[in-house]
Amino acid sequence: MDSLVGAVVSHYRIVARIGAGGMGVVYLAEDQRLHRQVARKFLAPETAGDASAQRRFLREAQTVSALDHPNIATIFEVGDYNGQLFIAMAYYKGETLKGRIARITAGIN
C-alpha cells in the first residue's frame, strides 16, 4: 500500500502514510479540487478480497456519515481504487488515540 504515496486517487493526491489499524491504512492526501488536506482510509490489503470485511468497512462509512458531531470526522467520499475500498474524510492534526493513551498511562499530560 505504501506504493500509493504520490498516486492520485479520484481527485486526491496521496502525500504520506499516517497510520494503520485493524481494518485499514490511513494516508494524508491533498484534495486537488478544493485545496485542502484530507485523510484517506483504505481497507487493509490483506482483507481487500474478503466480502465480510468490505461490508464492515462500508457500514463504518455509512454509520459515521449519518452522525453530525464536532468530535467525529466528516466523510467526503467512499469509493474503490484498483479493487481497494477507501473512505475520504476530514483530516485533523494531532496525536493518535494510541499515543494519547500511552501518554496518560505513563503519567504525562
Closest CA to 1 of 75, 82, 99: 82
Report residue 98's pLDDT band, with 50, 70 and 90 as the boundaries: confident
* CA dist., res. 51 & res. 85, Å (int): 11
- Which grid cell sits at 11? 481527485
The pTM of this model reads 0.84
At the top level of CATH, the class of 2-105 is: alpha beta
User: Model confidence over 36-84: pLDDT tens digits?
Assistant: 999 999 998 888 888 999 999 999 999 999 999 988 999 999 999 988 8
* Integer CA distances (angstroms), 59 to 8, 43, 46, 67, 82, in order: 25, 12, 19, 13, 20
Average pLDDT of span 23-32: 94
> What's the mean per-residue pLDDT of the chain?
90
DSSP code of 31?
A: E
- Average of pLDDT values for 6-29? 92
Residue-level pLDDT at 57? 94
Q: What own/partner pairs with CB < 8 Å and gap ≥ 24 does 12-20 have?
A: 12/38, 12/40, 12/88, 14/40, 19/96, 20/44
Res 2: pLDDT: 67
Q: Give how far the C-alpha of residue 106 lies from the chain's centroid of Cα atoms, to the nearest Å.
A: 28
